[in-house]
A and B are shown apart, each in its own frame.
Chain A
C-alpha cells in the first residue's frame, strides 16, 4: 500500500550545506614553522666577606715654639756707646718733652671703620604676645658681650597692689631673624621693675619686682628652671617695689653681690651664695641726714623714710654710692655704714644674731646734693671719672654733679616733661643720654656742646608714648637700646662721633669738670 501522503520535505529540518568551497588565497603563503630550544646558562652566585681588622693610630704634635730670645751683647765698645748716648740724648729728651705737651695730634683720630654720621634705627623688638597686653618696658640691660638685650616688662601705674604678671625677655641681636621672637622669656609673679645682667657671666640676670622680691635667672639652660634664686618676703627685705638692682664687685675678685634699692628706702646687699634667702647687709634712707636748708619748709620728722628710686656706683670707688629718692633728694652714701642682716655665707659656722628692729637699718647718707623738685628717676655715674654723675628728674632737668660738690656743675633742661632715664656712655667720656615722657631721646656730648643735645630723636611711635628705658651697650659701642610705654624696644646704631673712644680732648673736658674741687683741696 502506497502511502497516501506525500512525504513532504521536512520544513523544520536544519539545512546544512553539503559542501564547502575553498577558495585559495591568492596572496597568503603558508608560514614556515620550525622548533628550536634555548636556555641561559645558570647564574653563578658567589659570596665573599671582607673586613679590616687592624687599626693604626699615630699622634703628632708640634713642639711649642721656644720663646724668642734676643741676643744680649756684652762686648761692645763702651766709648762709642757713651758718645752715641751723649749725642742722641739731647735730641730724644727734647722730643719727649715736646711730645708730652704737644697738641699736634689732638682731635685727630683715625677712622678705621666707616663712619656713621647719624643715629639710625637697627631693630624694633615687639613684646611677646601675652595675656597682659598693655605692659611697658621698665628696664633694659645689655649682657656682657653686647649681643643680647634683656627687657623687663611691668607697669608704673599701680594704684595699690600689683596683680599683673611681669616678664623678662632677652633678644639676641646676633644672627638672622632678629626681632621676631625673644630668645628667652620668663614670667614673674609681679611686674618687674629693674633688671641687670651679670657683669661677667653673660647668662645671669638679676631682677627686682614690684612685690619687693629679688630674683636671679639664668638664660643658658632652657630645660632647667630659669629662676636660679628668689628672695623671700620678710620684714628685713623690701616691702615696697624694688627700684633698681645692680651687681657690685664683692671683696674677692670675680665675685659679685647684688645691691638693690627699694621705694621703702632700703638699700640691701644680697649674695647668691645663700640663694638670696636673706640680704647680708642693709641700710635705710631717712630724712635725718638731709640738711635743714634742703628740706621743705614746715616741720619734717627726721625719721621720715625717703623712698629710693635709683642707685649708682662711682668707678674705682668701692666705698661710696649715690642714691636718688622719690622726694627729689640725691645723696652720697657709704657702704661701710650698714647693718649685717644675716650670717656671712662664706663663713657658715659663725653664729649670727639678728639685731633688734630698732637698730636694724643704719642711715648711710653722708652728703646731700641740691635736690630736684619731684622724684629723681635716674642717676648714672661716669664710668670714666670717679667724681662725675648725672641725674634725670621728673622736673625735666638733667643735672651733672661733681661728687664733692653740693651744687650741680651743669644743668640741662631738654624737656618740660618728666625724664625717665639718664645714663652715661660707657665708651666716650663726655657722652650721656636721657629719655623723656614725650618719647624723645636726647644724647649729649659735652665735647660738642656744653648746653645743647648733640642728637634729639623721637624713639616712640608718637609723642604721647613715653620712652621709659635706656641702655648703652658695654660690649658693642655703637648699640643703644630704648624702651617705651607701648612695650616696644628699639635698638639704635649711635653715630660714630658719639661712640668713638675718647682721645685727649674728651679726657681734658671730663677732667676739668670732675677734677675741679680736687685741686682746691
Chain B
C-alpha cells in the first residue's frame, strides 16, 4: 500500500458512494463485488446469499467468458444478464472484478402489495 492515506479514504468513500447510487435504483435487491476466483470484496446481502451468489454466479460468468472467447478469441464477455421469474441478475465484469447486481424488475408493478 504505497498510496497516501487520504487517497485511500477518498477511494473508499468513492466505492461506497457508487454502491449506494446503484442500490438506490428501483428494485435492486443487492450487490456483490467479487473476484474471478470467487472471493468477495463487498456485499450488501447476508452471508448465505453472498456465498451462493459469489460462487455460483462467478462460475457461470467464467463459463460464459470461455464461450465468448471460444467463438472469437479476440472478443470478451463484458456483461451478462439472467432473467428469472422473480429476478434479473446482472453481471458486469472486467479483467479483475465482477459486479453482480440483483434486481426485481416487477417491483414497480407490485409496489403496492
A79, A84, A507: the one contacting B97 at CB < 8 Å is A84
- Give a binary string over B54-89; 1 marks a CB under 8 Å from any A CB, 0 the rest: 110000000000000000000000110101010010
* B28 to A: closest C-beta gap in Å: 6
B6 to chain A, nearest CB (A): 12
- The verdict on A160 contacting chain B, using a C-beta distance below 8 Å, is no
Contact with B27, one of A84, A100, A384, A504 (Cβ below 8 angstroms): A100
User: When the two chains form their complex, are residues A71 and B39 in contact, meaning their CB atoms are under 8 A apart?
Assistant: yes
Name the A residues within 8 Å of B35 (CB-CB).
73, 76
* Inter-chain contacts of A84 with B (CB < 8 A): 94, 96-97, 99
Whether a CB of chain B sits under 8 angstroms from the CB of A95 is yes
The one of A72, A100, A384 that contacts B39, using a Cβ cutoff of 8 Å: A72
The 10 nearest A-B residue pairs measured at CB: A88-B92, A96-B25, A73-B39, A78-B11, A507-B109, A71-B39, A70-B51, A85-B18, A68-B51, A100-B26
Residues of B contacting A80 in the complex (Cβ-Cβ under 8 angstroms): 96-97
Contact of B47 with A82 in the complex, beta carbons under 8 Å = no
Which of B54, B55, B92, B107: most chain A Cβ within 10 A?
A: B92
Q: List 20 A-B contacts (CB under 8 A).
A: A67-B47, A67-B48, A67-B51, A68-B48, A73-B35, A82-B11, A84-B96, A84-B97, A85-B15, A85-B18, A87-B94, A92-B99, A93-B25, A96-B22, A97-B25, A100-B107, A105-B83, A110-B85, A508-B109, A511-B109
Enumerate chain A residues within 8 angstroms of B105, measured Cβ to Cβ.
99-100, 102, 105
Chain B contacts to A: CB under 8 angstroms = 3, 8, 11-12, 14-15, 18-19, 21-22, 25-28, 33, 35, 38-41, 47-48, 50-51, 54-55, 78-79, 81, 83, 85, 88, 90, 92, 94, 96-97, 99, 101, 103, 105-110, 112-113
B41 touches A507 (CB 8 A): no
A96 contacts B101, C-beta separation under 8 Å: yes
The residues of B that contact A508 with a CB separation of less than 8 Å are 109
Bound: A79/B47 CA distance, A: 26
A11 within 8 A of B: no
Bound Cα distance from A76 to B79, whole angstroms: 22
- Evaluate contact between B88 and A99: CB separation under 8 angstroms: yes
Question: A81 at interface (Cβ–Cβ under 8 A)?
Answer: yes
CA distance A102 to B106 in the complex (A): 10
Residue in B11, B79, B83, B112 whose CB lies within 8 Å of A91: B79
Instruction: Report the bound CA distance from A139 to B27 in whole Å.
Output: 42
Q: A72 contacts B40, CB within 8 Å?
A: yes
B86 to chain A, nearest CB (A): 11
Tell whether A69 is near chain B: CB-to-CB under 8 Å. Answer: yes
- Min Cβ gap A360→B in Å is 38
Q: Which residue of B lies closest to A74 (CB)?
A: B41
Q: Which residues of B contact A87 (CB under 8 A)?
A: 94
Residue among B12, B40, B99 facing the most chain A CB atoms (10 A cut-off): B99
List chain A positions with a Cβ less than 8 A from chain B: 67-73, 76, 78-82, 84-89, 91-93, 95-97, 99-102, 105, 110, 316, 384-385, 503-504, 507-508, 511, 515
Say whether B22 contacts A70, CB under 8 Å: no
List the A side residues contacting B40 at CB < 8 Å. 70-73
Set A70, A93, A97: member contacting B47, Cβ < 8 A: A70
- CB contacts (< 8 Å) of B103 on chain A: these are 96, 99-100
Q: Assuming A70-B55, A72-B40, what are 4 further A-B pairs, CB within 8 angstroms? A: A69-B47, A71-B38, A71-B39, A95-B90
Instruction: Take A70-B40, A79-B11 as given contacts and tell me if A507 and B106 are in contact as well, using a CB distance cutoff of 8 Å.
Output: yes
Contacts of B112 in A (CB 8 A): 385, 511, 515
**Residues of chain A contacted by B79 (CB below 8 angstroms):** 91, 95
Determine chain A's interface SS by DSSP, over half rule.
helix
Q: Which residue of B lies closest to A88 (CB)?
A: B92
Across-interface contacts of B47 in A (CB, < 8 A): 67, 69-70
* Distance of A511 Cα from B108 Cα, bound (Å): 11
A85, A102, A504, A507 — most chain B CB neighbours (10 Å)? A85
Task: Report the separation of the CA atoms of residues A97 and B101 in the bound assembly, to the nearest whole angstrom.
Answer: 13
Select which of B38, B88, B107 is within 8 A of A70 by beta carbon: B38
List of A residues within 8 angstroms of B110 by Cβ: 507
Q: Which residues of B contact A92 (CB under 8 A)?
A: 22, 90, 92, 99, 101
Instruction: Using A89-B22, A100-B25, A100-B107 as known contacts, say yes or no to A70 and B12 having CB atoms under 8 A apart.
Output: no
Could you say which residues of chain A place their CB within 8 Å of the CB of B83? 105
Residue in contact with A96 in the complex, picked from B28, B38, B48, CB distance below 8 Å: B28
Inter-subunit contact B3/A79 (CB<8 Å): yes
Most buried by A among B41, B55, B105: B105
Contact status A78-B51, CB under 8 Å: no
Complex CA gap A80/B15 in Å reads: 11
B38–A78 touching, CB < 8 Å = no
Q: A76 to B94, Cβ gap below 8 A?
A: no
Measured CB to CB, the nearest residue on chain B to A110 is B85
Partner of A100, one of B21, B41, B90, B108: B108
Report B-chain residues with C-beta under 8 Å of the C-beta of A507.
Answer: 106, 109-110
Closest residue of chain B to A511 (Cβ to Cβ) is B112
A516 CB to nearest chain B CB (Å)? 12
A87 nearest CB neighbor, chain B only: B94
Report the Cα distance A503→B99, complex, angstroms.
Answer: 28
Are A91 and B108 closer than 8 Å at their CB atoms? Answer: no
A515 vs B40: C-alpha distance when bound (angstroms): 42
CB distance from B30 to the nearest CB of A (A): 12
Residues of A within 8 A of B39 (CB): 70-73
Q: Tell which of A73, A87, A384 has the most Cβ of chain B within 10 Å.
A: A73
Q: Are B41 and A73 in contact (CB under 8 A)?
A: yes
**Which B residues lie within 8 Å of A102 (CB)?**
105
User: Do A82 and B101 touch (CB < 8 A)?
Assistant: no
Assembled-state Cα–Cα distance A110/B3 (Å) = 52
Whole-angstrom distance between the Cβ of A126 and the nearest chain B Cβ: 40
A97 to B19, CA, bound (A): 15
